[in-house]
């Protein structure tokens, strides 16, 4: 008996499933623990539950209709311009044939723009589900502490269907911007720029947290933040290492570049804090911010740049986001929107910076695909290597993501607002988890023993308003 179809490579299949699992761990427990540690203690349960429910909602929608919208046949290729390669036709992948057939993206594998996959369609679908699931969880950080969980349960599948699938098709599924040559190795635009944009718009539409919560929004558990951040960092090996689709040389280079850029970005943020920060002290939260900026900024570039490029991206992106983090909250519209954990900075601006920097540092000597004799079958180049046009392609793709995602997020929320309150009532916001879930992350001993629920512990004022836990 033959255990594998002749097109399946056990190594590639195993690596894709491992990579997908690493990305999944970034969501649960990664984001749940990271955000759960960053928020006030009265919102820990709510934050973790929204992470778990968001993850589950996307999986159901993904296998029933969304995967084909992001990676299938165009909805109508006869439509003019970008509309003809904007999104795929909805369809399910549930069934023995769909799940066990060879993985295939019609607009990518069909024209032989890349080698045939050596794993099944179910492997490809699960891998990309993990990417789709983490995106709304990232911008959850913009609206924690006031979004109505009923609105969240409706918003996530709608946003994932109407926004995320379009982003994925445009840049990964062979859509319009992919055809133009725009680069996004693993989601700097599709995931992070999208999360920053949509999170900022959602925060503006839903409105701010209670004034007292904004003034005293210190993290409840820094060790918990450290665990979540560590899971994100190492989970990113699957994020960028898996998007090569093959367990080969370029996947290994992408993993090394990811970690190198992240280390440089973390150290850069710490040095900025130490030398010119408001308190001239390095902070752990600052280090986490720098880490996330490095992870995000290298994501669109991981397999297209060399280690030197990764170092420059970490240095430049971390410096840009540190400056934005420090000064933009003082000017409109940033000073008018309560982006609770600063997702617009560490994901939105960092994703934009990384996407533009790949247009500068993409190295043609980084072979993405090889010919049988070992020569380069396909690579790409940026401005430093004579391809200034790549910058315009990167800018055009970024502009499309920003405008489309902002408009659609606004419309989805305004429509939902006609049927359900987007923001929890103020009396509920005063109590947090107890009012919403009848649960607490850190119940008093008397509550554990079975006595009536006690009121939440008093909020301890932050030592300095500059140390707000935006992430």
Return the pLDDT at 448: 56
Mean pLDDT, rounded, for 24-35:
96
CA nearest to 306, candidates 241, 268, 358, 363 = 363
| Position 445 confidence tier, pLDDT thresholds 50, 70, 90 | low
Per-residue pLDDT tens over the stretch 421-437? 999 999 999 999 999 99
Return the pLDDT at 378: 79
| Cα 91 to Cα 102: distance, rounded to the nearest angstrom | 17
| Position 443 confidence tier, pLDDT thresholds 50, 70, 90 | confident
Strand ranges in 80-182 using DSSP code E only, listed in sequence order: none
Q: Collect all residues with Cβ–Cβ distance below 8 Å to 376 and sequence separation of at least 6.
A: 364, 367, 368, 369, 370
Per-residue pLDDT tens over the stretch 158-194? 999 999 999 999 999 999 999 999 999 999 999 999 9
Q: Give percent above pLDDT 90 in the chain.
A: 82
Residue in the block written with tokens 């599924």: 173
Q: Which residues pair with 376 in a beta bridge?
A: 370
Per-residue pLDDT tens over the stretch 184-205? 999 999 999 999 999 999 999 9
Mean pLDDT, rounded, for 363-380:
83
| Cα 284 to Cα 290: distance, rounded to the nearest angstrom | 10
Reduce the DSSP state of residue 97 to 3 states and report it.
Answer: helix
Return the pLDDT at 111: 83
Contact 180, 423 (CB under 8 A): no
Letter string b/e over residues 307-335, b meaning 16 or more CB atoms within 10 A of that residue's CB:
eebbbbbbbbbbbbbbebbbebbeeeebe
| Position 463 confidence tier, pLDDT thresholds 50, 70, 90 | very low
Q: What secondary structure does DSSP assign to 208-237, as a single string? A: PPPHHHHHT---S-HHHHHHHHHHHHHHHH
Residue in the block written with tokens 């992408």: 254
Q: Is the predicted pLDDT of residue 413 greater than 70, yes or no?
A: yes
Regarding predicted confidence, which is higher, 110 or 142? 142
Phi/psi of residue 174, nearest 5 degrees = 90, 15
CA nearest to 69, candidates 85, 89, 84, 83 = 89
Mean pLDDT, rounded, for 385-410:
97
| Position 447 confidence tier, pLDDT thresholds 50, 70, 90 | low
Return the pLDDT at 450: 58
Per-residue pLDDT tens over the stretch 265-274? 999 999 999 9
Return the pLDDT at 113: 83
| Cα 359 to Cα 387: distance, rounded to the nearest angstrom | 8
Q: Which two tokens stand for residue 394?
A: 């990167």
Mean pLDDT, rounded, for 280-291:
96
Q: What is the dihedral of CA 259, 261, 267, 273, to 10 degrees?
A: -130
Reduce the DSSP state of residue 399 to 3 states and report it.
Answer: helix
Return the pLDDT at 361: 97
Return the pLDDT at 467: 41
**Chain-centre distance of CA 245, in angstroms?**
19
Cα distances (Å, whole numbers) of residue 225 to 39, 319, 367 = 10, 22, 37
| Cα 432 to Cα 44: distance, rounded to the nearest angstrom | 9
Regarding predicted confidence, which is higher, 8 or 450? 8
Return the pLDDT at 81: 84
Residue in the block written with tokens 């606004």: 410
Cα distances (Å, whole numbers) of residue 128 to 94, 253, 309 = 15, 21, 26
Phi/psi of residue 375, nearest 5 degrees = -80, 165
Q: Collect all residues with Cβ–Cβ distance below 8 Å to 394 and sequence separation of at least 6.
A: 182, 183, 355, 356, 358, 359
Q: Is the predicted pLDDT of residue 312 greater than 70, yes or no?
A: yes
| Position 464 confidence tier, pLDDT thresholds 50, 70, 90 | very low
Mean pLDDT, rounded, for 74-79:
86
Contact 134, 127 (CB under 8 A): no
Q: Is the predicted pLDDT of residue 466 greater than 50, yes or no?
A: no
Per-residue pLDDT tens over the stretch 193-246? 999 999 999 999 999 999 989 988 789 999 999 999 999 999 999 999 999 899
Q: Give percent above pLDDT 70 in the chain.
A: 94
């Amino acid at each position: 008996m033959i255990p594998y179809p002749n097109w399946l490579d056990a190594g590639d299949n195993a690596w894709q499933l491992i990579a997908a699992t690493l990305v999944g761990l970034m969501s649960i427990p990664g984001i749940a623990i990271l955000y759960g540690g960053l928020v006030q203690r009265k919102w820990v349960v709510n934050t973790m539950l929204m992470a778990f429910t968001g993850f589950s909602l996307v999986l159901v929608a993904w296998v029933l209709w969304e995967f084909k919208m992001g990676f299938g046949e165009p909805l109508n290729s006869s439509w003019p311009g970008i509309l003809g390669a904007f999104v795929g036709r909805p369809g399910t992948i549930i069934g023995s044939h769909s799940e066990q057939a060879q993985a295939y993206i019609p607009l990518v594998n069909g024209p032989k723009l890349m080698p045939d996959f050596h794993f099944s369609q179910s492997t490809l679908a699960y891998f990309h589900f993990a990417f789709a699931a983490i995106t709304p969880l990232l911008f959850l950080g913009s609206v924690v502490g006031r979004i109505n969980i009923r609105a969240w349960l409706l918003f996530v599948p709608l946003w994932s269907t109407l926004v995320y699938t379009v982003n994925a098709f445009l840049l990964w599924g062979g859509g319009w911007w992919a055809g133009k040559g725009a680069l996004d190795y693993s989601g700097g635009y599709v995931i992070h720029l999208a999360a920053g944009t949509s999170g900022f718009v959602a925060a503006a539409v839903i409105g701010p947290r209670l004034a007292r919560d904004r003034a005293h929004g210190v993290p409840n558990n820094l060790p918990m933040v450290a665990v979540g951040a560590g899971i994100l960092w190492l989970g990113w090996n699957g994020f960028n290492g898996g998007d090569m689709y093959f367990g080969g040389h370029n996947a290994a280079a992408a993993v090394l570049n990811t970690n190198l850029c992240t280390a440089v970005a973390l150290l850069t943020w710490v040095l900025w804090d130490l030398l010119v920060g408001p308190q001239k002290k390095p902070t752990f939260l600052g280090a986490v911010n720098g880490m996330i900026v490095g992870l995000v900024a290298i994501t669109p570039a991981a397999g297209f740049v060399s280690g030197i490029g990764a170092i420059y991206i970490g240095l430049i992106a971390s410096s840009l986001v540190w400056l934005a983090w420090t000064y933009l909250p003082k000017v409109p519209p940033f000073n008018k929107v309560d982006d609770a954990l600063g997702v617009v900075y560490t994901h939105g601006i960092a994703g934009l910076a990384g996407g533009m920097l790949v247009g500068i540092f993409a190295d043609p000597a980084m072979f993405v695909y090889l010919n049988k004799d070992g020569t380069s079958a396909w690579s790409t180049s940026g401005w430093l290597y004579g391809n200034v046009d790549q910058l315009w392609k990167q800018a055009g793709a970024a502009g499309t993501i920003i405008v489309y995602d902002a408009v659609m997020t606004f419309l989805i929320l305004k429509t939902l607002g006609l049927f359900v309150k987007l923001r929890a009532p103020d009396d509920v916001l005063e109590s947090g988890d107890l009012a919403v879930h009848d649960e607490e992350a850190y119940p008093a001993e008397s509550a554990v023993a079975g006595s009536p629920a006690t009121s939440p512990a008093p909020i301890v004022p932050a030592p300095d308003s500059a140390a707000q836990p935006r992430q």
